[in-house]
Structure 1
């Protein structure tokens, strides 16, 4: 394989993708790690050295001191697109990943349910935006990731007080969602992972009390109390109280998730939904073009999704002839 152009893996998180690299190494697939946090490209370049680029940039990069990655990535992906370089999770996917407001527009276009929401660009509009919404409400930064930039307000007065105190943060693009915080039926959300626009697996995630960080790779244990091997996280990652279990969503929800990822141009990603305990209906609320997969997937869902992911990457890079 030494004469084959490598796969470029563009990422900035130091730990999330170790299982991916391990599977690539195991197969002897040529690849190059591309540091999204310190990167350069030449707009006049006539070609690129990679057979495929796998975009693993995360909106939460700013939480790790890599905020320069967030919008730079859009420019580089557009450059690769102009050159005709195949990209997994291309510009369209990353654009949807970067904007919760854009995700809701997509859901509306597909006539799929999502929590009642208003979008604002100044904190002074938060209270007015909440008119007609049921409290509690969430104020969500448009560019989030790992639960960042989400604050829950139990009452209109609490929201008004936060606005008056200047503590309502709209995030790095000055845009935020004011959204109903639905009570979760059975205390969990469901994350459905897809690959190549098709269902891969699903998990129920039981968040720690008061937490909005639902990163599946950070899960501590199953609902039965079995400790998980968190191969995608740092060895000293703190236990966060999150619990997970395999889920089997109904066929119509799986079909809706597949429609979402296909319409968003997401090659590998996850869609999260909740069931509102007030009406028993499901609502989609997050579309992710970054999937680091659940911790100890073999134990939770019965197989290693990184194996199937690398199957797909080999196919997209032209190293094998069969599709996933």
Structure 2
């Protein structure tokens, strides 16, 4: 039994450690951990137990990194493997399970969560061929955005202001799409105040929210975050956020929405099951989110140990 308590936390994380302040917090509290790079990883599908007391799936994908699609695929398969060991003596538990990673992998799955809960999101079509692009354009109101569906499709988000612009792009073969990837065609929402709202989730509940301002006005097409201000959403929005977290089995991460400049309506558009978003400094926030994440990991680890002692 003592060998179990010597196991570190395994953290699935695909980037250098300096990008995630969580690791410093864990080290300061004397909590042993190992990082697992899913793009450079192997496991035995016949193994009876894993070498970790707790597995934290923090497969992050900040926009300033180019991801290896194999990392996402390996994360899903490995986490599913670990999940199958639950209930077996000395098996690991998982934070952000395979469902959360599958939802992260495509925008269409994120939008499906919103649709299942009757939570508004921008009118969208998922398109698998350029031939269907005009049909999608004819069903939506311009301006529209053409986006990648998967994390690693490398499709540059492009705005079209009219059906004529879209036709010209098709005729001149200037569309930023290639290969056998599906893509998202979505009505453009002009953001009120040039910000989106990022709601941070911990243990399936709202930890805090922030208005995130960008150098631009195309929502997910923005590339630079200028600043973030702490923000308190309405109770109705908080309830919607936590419903999404519950449906996505999201233990920790973020959910993002936008307010339409013209109508003041709220539209959800992204679910991100990873902690990298905590790295943005938030003005007015009176606590360090990583302290809360570290405490949460300690609590989960303690529960695992209590269960192990009863077996």
SS of the aligned residue for 2:199 comes to: strand
User: Which secondary structure does the structure 1 equivalent of 2:21 belong to?
Assistant: helix
**Number of matched residues?**
298
Superposed CA offset, 1:233-257 (max 9, x none): xxxxxxx462221111111101100
SS in 2 for 1:183: coil
Could you say what secondary structure the match of 2:7 adopts? coil
Q: 1:260 to 1:306 in 2, by over 3 A?
A: same
Matches within 5 A, 1:175-254: 175-209=182-216, 240=224, 242-254=226-238
- Indicate which of 308, 315, 320 corresponds to 2:299: 315
How far apart, in 1, do the equivalents of 2:264 and 2:122 lie?
13
- Partner residue in 2 for 1:264: 248
* Cα RMSD after superposing both structures: 2.8
Residues 34 and 312 of structure 1: is their aligned pair in 2 closer, same or farther, counting only changes over 3 Å? same
Partners of 1:148 and 1:203 lie apart in 2 by 27
Which blocks of at least 5 consecutive residues in structure 2 are unaligned?
87-91, 307-311
Q: 1:121 to 1:59 in 2, by over 3 A?
A: farther
Higher normalized helix content (fraction of residues) = 2
Which segments of structure 1 move beyond 6 Å, counting only runs of 4 or more?
A: 319-322
Q: Please, what TM-score do these two structures have when normalized by structure 1?
A: 0.83
Q: Aligned with 1:201: secondary structure?
A: strand
Aligned to 1:141: 148
- Per-residue deviation at 1:319? 6.5
Deviates more, 1:289-298 or 1:40-49: 289-298
Checking the alignment, whether the CA contact within 8 Å between 2:198 and 2:255 is kept in structure 1 is yes
Corresponding residue number in structure 2 for 1:235:
none
Do the aligned partners of residues 314 and 172 (structure 1) sit closer, same or farther apart at CA in structure 2, a change above 3 Å counting?
Answer: farther
Equivalent position SS for 1:317 = helix
Q: What is the TM-score of this pair, normalised by structure 2?
A: 0.86
Q: Distance in 2 between matches of 1:241 and 1:192?
A: 15
Counterpart Cα distance in 1 of 2:179 and 2:22: 29
Q: CA deviation at 1:293?
A: 3.5
**Residues 268 and 91 (structure 1), Cα distance of their counterparts in 2 relative to 1, 3 Å cut:** same
